[in-house]
Amino acid sequence: MRTVRLPDGTQVPALGQGTWHMGERGSAAKPEVAALKLGIELGMTLIDTAEMYGNGGAEEVVAEAAQGQRDKLFIVSKVYPQNASRTGVPQACERSLKRLRTDRIDLYLLHWKGSHPLTETVAAFEKLKAEGKIRHWGVSNFDTSDMQGLLRLKDGTNCTTNQVLYHAGSRGIEYDLLPWTTEHSIPLMAYSPVGQGGRLLQSKALAAVAKRHNATPAQIAIAWTMRHANVISIPKASDQAHVRENAAAGDITLTDADLAAIDAAHPPPARKASLDIL
């Protein structure tokens, strides 16, 4: 599995697993755990979750999948903006640690910008880091100007990632956010890389490229997000056939002709647009 280097030198897999909509129904928990375990076996040891997903249920699914193999995992979780105050962050983190049945979160993100001052959130993240409860912190759904503001704050340069929507049907970040984060050596995490299994997978261009690689459109969609050295892709799959497909996407290298065909159908941004958010 190719890796991406975090600013402190830690290497993480360039391809991980999402968990949105897991842990929402008790009856689905078993297959969801099985899917995550299969993904781990196939090298997708970075797992993205959040206190929001399934109201904490997704973190419990992750805990179950992590049993007996916590040390090989890199667990990412997120705090709700409404909990991102100086006192709210540690309380939310404790609840997440309990649901995750672990003593540390590898990367803890602010899910999106809220009304609590960012200085408070960053100070709380730094305190949790000093206590060993989180190993790194970062943000999600931050546009370029938000990142610039963050880096001006005390300890703001310790931000380890920005997790944003990115797939061939939503390329706005290529205009300035992706070049800016590359310049600052901050990896991006691409969420919804298969466009949530929707219209993107009907793309004729993706289908044509897929045919050349004896692959599926979803695999091409994932490989496309991973073509940048500092992008980590986190597709979510509860279906084990999807998990197998997604893991194999990490081995696909797209050619210049493939990329040109995808550009023709899904053009890169010509101007700045505000960040797409789900």
Ligand X SMILES: NC(=O)c1ccc[n+]([C@@H]2O[C@H](COP(=O)([O-])OP(=O)(O)OC[C@H]3O[C@@H](n4cnc5c(N)ncnc54)[C@H](OP(=O)(O)O)[C@@H]3O)[C@@H](O)[C@H]2O)c1
Catalytic residues: 53
Per-residue string for binding with ligand X, 128-147, x by CB under 6 A? ------------xx------
- Interface with ligand X, residue 161, by CB under 6 A: no
Q: Give residues 49-108 in contact with ligand X (rule: CB under 6 A).
A: none
Amino acid at residue number 142: F
Sequence-distant (≥ 6) Cβ neighbours of residue 123 within 8 angstroms:
86, 154, 155
Among 63, 105, 173, 218, binds ligand X (CB under 6 A): 218
Give least dist CB 262 to ligand X, A. 16
Token pair belonging to 258: 């493939």
Sequence-distant (≥ 6) Cβ neighbours of residue 272 within 8 angstroms:
172, 175, 176
Give least dist CB 166 to ligand X, A. 10
Give least dist CB 42 to ligand X, A. 13
- Interface with ligand X, residue 19, by CB under 6 A: yes
Token pair belonging to 197: 């299994």
Residue span binding ligand X (CB under 6 A) among the ranges 83-91, 152-160, 172-180, 190-198 = 190-198
- Interface with ligand X, residue 246, by CB under 6 A: yes
- Interface with ligand X, residue 234, by CB under 6 A: yes
How many C-beta neighbours within 10 Å does residue 25 have? 11
DSSP H or E segment with residue 248: helix 240-249
- Interface with ligand X, residue 163, by CB under 6 A: yes
Sequence-distant (≥ 6) Cβ neighbours of residue 183 within 8 angstroms:
none
- Interface with ligand X, residue 192, by CB under 6 A: yes
Among 36, 108, 242, 252, binds ligand X (CB under 6 A): 242
188-191 and 105-110: which strand pairing? Answer: unpaired
CA 156 – CA 148 distance, rounded (Å)? 9
Contact 111, 140 (CB under 8 A): yes
Residue nearest to ligand X (CB): 18
Number of residues lying near ligand X (CB under 6 A): 27
Contact 139, 162 (CB under 8 A): yes
Tell which phi-psi region holds residue 209, choosing left (phi > 0), alpha (psi between -120 and 50) or beta. Answer: alpha
Among 23, 39, 172, 195, binds ligand X (CB under 6 A): 195
- Interface with ligand X, residue 237, by CB under 6 A: yes
- Interface with ligand X, residue 238, by CB under 6 A: yes
Token pair belonging to 226: 């991973």
Contact footprint for ligand X (CB under 6 A): 18-20, 48, 111, 140-141, 163, 191-197, 201, 218, 234-239, 242, 245-246, 278
